[in-house]
Structure 1
Amino acid sequence: MNVVAQFGIYQGKELSDTELNEILTSELRARFFDRAVSYLVRSPKTEFQVRRYLKDLAFKKKGKWFEDISKEDISSIEEFVVKKLLEYEYLNDEKYAQMFVESRIKNKPRGKNILYGELVSKGVSKDIIEKVLEETLGDEYSVLVATYRKKFKEEKITFEDRKKIDFLRRKGFNWDLIEKYINNESSK
C-alpha cells in the first residue's frame, strides 16, 4: 500500500518524530518484504537463508534506504518480513526439505548422511530433517544400488575394492549398507 495513502499524508501536514519513524519503518518493511519475495521467486529457500539474506540486505542498503536505524528496528523488520512470508506460505522448511531430498535422489543420489549435512547447512531443523528423510528417502539401499550402477555399471564389488567402497562412502552411505550390498553382490 502507498505510504502516503496509508498514513493520510498531505502537503503541509506536520509530522511528529514518532509518525516519521513509523512511516520510515513501514516503508522499510515493504521494501524488505518485496526484496525477500523476489529472492524466493528464483528458487525456494529456508527460513535461515531468508534471514541471512535480509541481514545482508540491511547492511548493503544502509545509507541508501535509511541513514540511522537501530539494530532492534532492523531485527523487528526482519521478524515482520519472515512472519509475513510464513503466513503467506512462501516459506516452509519442511516442504523445502522434501523438495531438496527428492531432487537430490533424482539428480544427484546421495546417502542419508550427506543429505542430512546439506540440510543442516541450509538451516533446516534436525527434527524436520529426520522426519523428511524418513518419509522421502524411503529405501536408502535402492539409492545406493542406483548410485553404484550409475558409476560402475555391472561391475562386481568386493571388500577389497577400496576405490568403489570409498566412492560409496563419499556419497554418504554408511558402512552397514555398503556391507549389505557387497554381501548381496558376492552371493550372486
Structure 2
Amino acid sequence: MSEEKRTAAVITRLERQKKNKHRINVYLDGEYAFAIHEDVLVKYRLNKGCKLDEADMKELLDAEEKNRAVQYALRYISHRPRTVEEVRRYLLDTGFPASVADETVSGFIKRKYLDDRAYARQWVEERLRLKPRGRHLLRQELQARGIDGEDVEAALAQVEQEDEEAACLSIARKKYGQKRFGSFQEMRNKIGPFLQRKGFPHEIIKKTLETLKNESINQEM
C-alpha cells in the first residue's frame, strides 16, 4: 500500500439529505467533505469505513459532475422533445464543461433519449397540422435547432406537394378569409408577401391566389 493510501481519509458517515433524498452527504474523518448522488454511491460501492485518497475523491467528484449533468438533461427533456444541440447548449449554459456536455449527449443518443431525425419528422407533421409553414421556413426552423442537414431533408421529403398546397390555402383563408379586396392585384399584393414569409414557394402561392380569386368570384355571383 502506498503512503498516499495509508494516509487516506476514512468515510465515517453517510447521510441522506432531507431536501433531496437522492443526494448523500459524505463525511470523512468525522467532518463533512462533499455530497454525491445515490447512483454514484452505489456505482462505487461506498459505505462507512471505506478509505479514499486524493485520486479516489477526484474520480468520485468527476463521476458526480457527470451524473449531475445527466439529471439536469433528463429534467430538460422531460418537458418536451429536444434536439441534440438544444440539450448540449442547455448544459453549456448551465455551466457544465464541453467534455461533460458532449459525453451526456452521446449517452442520450445511445439510449434513444435523443433522436434528431424523429424530432424533425414530428416537428414537420405538427407544424403542418397546427401552424402551417412552407418547406423553406420549416427548413430554417429545424436548422436553427441544430438539426443536421440530412435529417432536415429526410423530414421534408415526407411532405407531399398536396399537403403543402393545402397548408398554404388554409393559412391564407384563416388570415384573410373575411376580407374583401377591390381587385385581384390588391389581393396578390397583400396575401402574396404574407405567404412568402411563411416559407411557401412561388408556384404554390400563385396557385393559392388563383383559388382565392375563384372563390371570391363565386361568392359574388
With normalisation by structure 1, the TM-score equals: 0.80
* 1:17-48 CA distance string (max 9 Å, x none): 33222111111111110110110000100000
Structure 1 residues 129-144: aligned runs within 5 Å = 129-135=152-158, 137-139=159-161, 140-144=164-168
Whole-Å Cα distance in 1 between the matches of residues 214 and 40 of structure 2?
Answer: 73
Provide the residue aligned with 1:49 in structure 2: 86
Task: Report the count of equivalent residues.
Answer: 173
Match of 1:158 among 166, 181, 184: 184
**Matched-pair identity in %:** 30
Bigger drift between 112-121 and 168-177 goes to: 168-177
Structure 1 residues 61-100: aligned runs within 5 Å = 74-100=97-123
Whole-Å Cα distance in 2 between the matches of residues 79 and 10 of structure 1?
Answer: 31
Match of 2:205 among 155, 158, 178: 178
Whole-Å Cα distance in 2 between the matches of residues 182 and 9 of structure 1?
Answer: 71
Q: Which structure dedicates a bigger proportion of its chain to helix?
A: 1
Q: Which structure dedicates a bigger proportion of its chain to strand?
A: 2
Task: List alignment gaps of at least 5 residues for structure 1.
Answer: 60-73
SS of the aligned residue for 1:109 comes to coil
* 1:45-90 CA distance string (max 9 Å, x none): 000000001111225xxxxxxxxxxxxxx33322221122112211
With normalisation by structure 2, the TM-score equals: 0.69
Q: CA RMSD in A?
A: 2.3
Answer yes or no: is the 8 Å Cα contact 1:159–1:182 preserved in 2. no
Whole-Å Cα distance in 2 between the matches of residues 111 and 158 of structure 1?
Answer: 23
Task: List alignment gaps of at least 5 residues for structure 2.
Answer: 1-37, 216-221
